[in-house]
Amino acid sequence: MRNRDRLQQLFVDLDRLDFAAVAAHCSEDCSYEDVPFEAATAVGRAAIHAKLELGLGMLERLPTTIHELVEDGDTMLVERTEVWHHATGERATLRVAAVFKFRDGLITLWRDYWDAKTLFAQQPASWLPDIPR
């Protein structure tokens, strides 16, 4: 699978909240980083699956629109908008810039850059209540 195709499928799987399928796009040593929260870095498929389940498991869906996608060898830069659909009816819209690195057709680095204040202001109080806002 081409890197571009794999990345686009990752976002299809993420929209469906199929965290096992999302993690399967990653290598066993993949590092998934949310830049605003370095302590939340997950390394490896199982850890990535668990991180996605924790942060997104209560959603109904997570459609993503890709605005820009730049590919240079095994590195891709992506600008996207996610719309978080909560089962309780709330919606949160988040712009994200990301770096993805690939090796042998799998993602080895997934680094998301986003604004925590923007995201937290749109989330219901029940979403990750232990994280300071």
**pLDDT score, position 67:** 98
For the chain, 133 residues long, give each residue's pLDDT as a single digit of tens: 799 999 999 999 999 999 999 999 999 999 999 998 888 999 999 999 999 999 999 999 999 999 999 999 999 999 999 999 998 899 999 999 999 999 999 999 999 999 988 988 888 777 766 665 4
* CATH for the 3-122 domain, from 1.10.3720.10, 3.10.450.50, 3.30.565.10, 2.40.170.20: 3.10.450.50
pTM score, whole prediction = 0.91
DSSP-derived secondary structure for 58-118? TEEE--EEEEEEEEETTEEEEEEEEEEEETTS-EEEEEEEEEEEEETTEEEEEEEE--HHH
**pLDDT score, position 133:** 47
Domain boundaries, the chain: 3-122
